[in-house]
């Protein structure tokens, strides 16, 4: 029996891979509005309709879609007219970065009256990390909040984000929403140890795997270090790591990068890299790290910097106070968990200049660091800032991507610069503006 699935009214007969989910099948058919968020059924950014029923396409086996009709956000509008839900999300600006919007639109379009009366329950399968849901609630209920900037009264008007139409139709292009013919995929092998020296890495088995093009280790990486927490002024933060280091200082630190024709081969390649570690004493608590004799994270010591501050004469204030309440306060470390996965695409242009496409709110800083950690001169290093799938501090620095699950932009740049089969892109560098930029 031959495979056939209808996607937005168009029949596709390409057989899915046996373990493929519908999300990647749709994206491979050009439906980039179907987003990869959590990839495990929690965030809803990949929501599509199968025969009108909303499902998470990251969990939906692609093979099962055979014989069915799939609608993605790209197929929701009819005859050039926005679907009413898309229009409502525009009218209420029910989005900020827009990465989750396609999923919200698809789920909302499938809600019945009873579900519309209980939005927290109905929309619990769709996560938004920007809006706090107020704007989304407005959108679902048909509230209009956008205003027209009339001459003479433009200042203060609540005007719509210019990228809104692209966001609600799934045509805004984020980092990985680009088809790069012949692109190679990189996966990272990560450290299982909090502190260890890499004594040896055997890459022979990985390199022997069909489809694997290259394996990078610390032996390939420049000796130069860069700051994984760099701010605008590079002197603010110490250079603390190499692209691939021979000492790992946290669980999950990248140890090797496998580049292959497919994600599957790159992942299998990672499993075949043999690493011999010399495990070192580790300290994972900041207060423990300050104690005398604590294991040193860096040879230069465990204190990177100190910040002290006071406003006014604090001592005098305490002395004059009727009561003094003194405590030490702790806050947990929180990651704001933007929905867009961390990743980057790199390629060499015809003139050998390196282009890295990533989600960041700053171009100059990552470009400077990429030049630091590859052999690419800064003048030949260009950064393409795609629409950003949620921001805050994590996307100001490309370094924040380095402890994420996906290859960081530094590695992508490094890979494109030194891979034996560098990827190239025919996609012209045309911009999409990020609503939250």
Partner 1 sequence: MDLHTVEQWVDARTVDAWRPGDAWLAGGTALFSAPGVHLRRLRDLGGTGWEPLVEDPDGRLEIAATCTVARLAAHPVALFGQCCRAFLASFTIWNMATVGGNLCAALPAGPMIALTTALDGGCLLLAPDGAARTLPVTAFVVGDGRTALREGELLRSVTVGPLPARTAFRQASLSTLGRSAALLIGTRDADGAMTLTITAATPRPHRLRFAVPPTAGELREAVEDEVEHWFDDLHGHPAWRRHLTFRFAEQIREELS
- Give me the residues that bind partner 1 (CB under 8 A), please: 17-21, 23-24, 39-41, 44, 47, 53-56, 58-61, 63-64, 107, 115, 120-126, 263-264, 267-268, 271
Among residues 57 and 395, whose Cβ is nearest to partner 1? 57
Name residue 354's beta-bridge partners: 348, 381
Answer for the pair 173, 428: CB distance below 8 angstroms, yes or no: no
Among residues 136 and 354, whose Cβ is nearest to partner 1? 136
Smallest gap from residue 60 Cβ to partner 1 (A): 6
Among residues 99 and 347, whose Cβ is nearest to partner 1? 99
CA distance 285 to 103: 39
Placement of tokens 């960041």 in the chain: 360
Among residues 175 and 432, whose Cβ is nearest to partner 1? 175
Smallest gap from residue 291 Cβ to partner 1 (A): 28
CA distance 410 to 105: 34
Smallest gap from residue 116 Cβ to partner 1 (A): 13
Among residues 68 and 197, whose Cβ is nearest to partner 1? 68
Smallest gap from residue 56 Cβ to partner 1 (A): 6
Smallest gap from residue 268 Cβ to partner 1 (A): 7
Among residues 54 and 94, whose Cβ is nearest to partner 1? 54
Among residues 17 and 225, whose Cβ is nearest to partner 1? 17
CA distance 406 to 343: 5
Distance of CA 342 to the CA centre of its chain: 3
* Burial of residue 431, with CB atoms counted within 10 A of its CB: 0-12 exposed, 13-18 middle, 19 or more buried: exposed
Residue 251: name the closest of 342, 188, 190, 187 by CA: 190
CA distance 413 to 351: 16
Q: Sheet containing 254-260: give its strands across.
A: 185-190, 254-260, 212-216
Placement of tokens 């190679």 in the chain: 184
Sequence-separated contacts (24+) of 281-287 with Cβ below 8 Å: 281/195, 282/193, 282/194, 282/195, 283/195, 284/194
Smallest gap from residue 159 Cβ to partner 1 (A): 33
Among residues 205 and 246, whose Cβ is nearest to partner 1? 205
Among residues 17 and 197, whose Cβ is nearest to partner 1? 17
**What is the DSSP track for 260-283?**
ESSHHHHHHHHHH-EEEEEE----
Answer for the pair 184, 259: CB distance below 8 angstroms, yes or no: yes
Smallest gap from residue 361 Cβ to partner 1 (A): 27
Which residue stretches of 29-118 are H helix?
84-91, 101-109, 113-116
Smallest gap from residue 30 Cβ to partner 1 (A): 17
CA distance 16 to 347: 28
* Burial of residue 332, with CB atoms counted within 10 A of its CB: 0-12 exposed, 13-18 middle, 19 or more buried: exposed
Name residue 346's beta-bridge partners: 356
Among residues 271 and 433, whose Cβ is nearest to partner 1? 271
Smallest gap from residue 270 Cβ to partner 1 (A): 10
């Amino acid at each position: 029996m031959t495979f056939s699935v209808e996607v937005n009214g168009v029949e596709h007969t390409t057989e899915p891979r046996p373990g493929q989910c519908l999300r990647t099948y749709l994206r491979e058919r050009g439906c980039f509005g179907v987003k990869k968020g959590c990839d495990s059924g929690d965030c809803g950014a990949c929501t599509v309709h199968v025969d009108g029923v909303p499902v998470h396409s990251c969990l939906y086996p692609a093979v099962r879609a055979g014989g069915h009709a799939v609608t993605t956000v790209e197929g929701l509008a009819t005859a050039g007219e926005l679907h009413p839900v898309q229009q409502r999300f525009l009218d209420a600006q029910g989005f900020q970065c827009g990465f989750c919007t396609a999923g919200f639109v698809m789920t909302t379009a499938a809600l019945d009256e009873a579900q519309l009366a209980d939005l927290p329950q109905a929309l619990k399968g769709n996560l938004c990390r920007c809006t706090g849901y107020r704007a989304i609630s407005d959108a679902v209920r048909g509230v209009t909040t956008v205003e027209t900037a009339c001459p003479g009264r433009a200042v203060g008007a609540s005007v719509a984000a210019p990228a809104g139409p692209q966001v609600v139709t799934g045509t805004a292009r984020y980092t990985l929403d680009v088809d790069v013919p012949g692109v190679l995929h990189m996966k990272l092998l990560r450290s299982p140890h909090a502190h260890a020296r890499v004594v040896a890495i055997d890459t022979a088995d990985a390199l022997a795997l069909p489809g694997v093009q290259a394996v990078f280790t610390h032996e390939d990486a420049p000796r130069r270090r860069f700051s994984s927490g760099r701010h605008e002024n590079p002197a603010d933060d110490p250079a603390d790591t190499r692209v691939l280091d021979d000492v790992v200082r946290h669980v999950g630190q990248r140890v090797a990068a496998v580049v292959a024709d497919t994600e599957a081969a790159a992942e299998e390649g990672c499993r075949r890299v043999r690493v011999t570690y010399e495990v070192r004493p580790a300290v994972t608590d900041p207060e423990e790290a300050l104690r005398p004799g604590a294991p040193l994270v860096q040879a230069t010591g465990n204190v990177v910097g100190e910040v002290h501050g006071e406003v006014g004469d604090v001592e005098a204030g305490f002395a004059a106070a009727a009561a003094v309440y003194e405590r030490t306060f702790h806050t947990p470390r929180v990651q704001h968990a933007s929905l867009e996965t961390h990743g980057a695409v790199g390629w060499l242009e015809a003139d050998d200049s390196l282009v890295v496409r990533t989600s960041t709110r700053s171009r100059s800083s990552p470009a400077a660091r990429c030049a630091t950690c590859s052999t690419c001169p800064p003048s030949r290093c260009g950064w393409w800032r795609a629409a950003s799938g949620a921001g805050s501090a994590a996307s100001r620095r490309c370094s924040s991507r380095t402890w994420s699950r996906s290859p960081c932009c530094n590695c992508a740049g490094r890979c494109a610069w030194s891979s034996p089969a560098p990827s190239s892109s025919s996609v012209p560098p045309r911009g999409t503006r990020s609503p939250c930029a």
